[in-house]
């Protein structure tokens, strides 16, 4: 009976710890065909108040930049680089450098050339988020975006 009670207490503690993990960035994905042979993939971050996500173009020695990696596939090809809007730029004392970042929301866009009528774009994104008091560890997220 003590073992069962101990196991229940440990499980409840684990659930409580999981509930306290901060997740201030919420990702969503979409795609839109722009012609029969091209499409744009959208990767959107909705960012909680007070938090920010870094640009793809952060210099070495700074925070972890947002990196979007697309899995190679025979059904589509990437056109150019992933684009982002102009970031907010400011000096961050923690990193002793100017850093580009986004608040509230940001949409990254990747153009693709379609080799079939439909495909699914798979990949991974890595990002780091901070507020004025703390930074969370970088996080990797796999994504899968249908293009119809």
Position 94 confidence tier, pLDDT thresholds 50, 70, 90: confident
Tokens 């173009």 -> residue: 57
pTM value is 0.85
Question: Tokens representing 120?
Answer: 């699914």
Q: How far apart are CA 69 and CA 124, in angstroms?
A: 5
- Does the pLDDT of residue 36 top 70, yes or no? yes
- Helix residue ranges per DSSP H, the chain: 2-19
- Does the pLDDT of residue 33 top 90, yes or no? yes
Q: Average of pLDDT values for 138-143?
A: 98
- Does the pLDDT of residue 3 top 70, yes or no? no
Q: How far apart are CA 93 and CA 100, in angstroms?
A: 13
- Does the pLDDT of residue 136 top 80, yes or no? yes
Domains of the chain: 24-147 (2.60.40.1250)
Q: How far apart are CA 115 and CA 77, in angstroms?
A: 8
């Amino acid at each position: 009976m003590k073992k069962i009670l101990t196991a229940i207490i440990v499980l409840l503690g684990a659930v409580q710890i999981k509930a306290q993990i901060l997740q201030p960035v919420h990702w969503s994905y979409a795609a839109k065909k722009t012609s029969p042979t091209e499409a744009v993939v959208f990767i959107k971050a909705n960012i909680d108040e007070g938090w920010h996500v870094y640009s793809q173009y952060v210099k070495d020695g700074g925070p972890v930049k947002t990196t979007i990696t697309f899995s190679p596939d025979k059904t589509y090809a990437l056109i150019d680089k992933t684009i982002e809007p102009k970031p907010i730029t400011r000096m961050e004392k923690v990193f002793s450098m100017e850093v580009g970042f986004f608040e509230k929301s940001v949409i990254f866009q990747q153009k693709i050339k379609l080799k079939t009528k439909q495909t699914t774009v798979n990949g991974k994104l890595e990002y780091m988020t901070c507020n004025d008091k703390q930074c969370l560890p970088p996080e990797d997220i796999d994504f899968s975006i249908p293009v119809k």
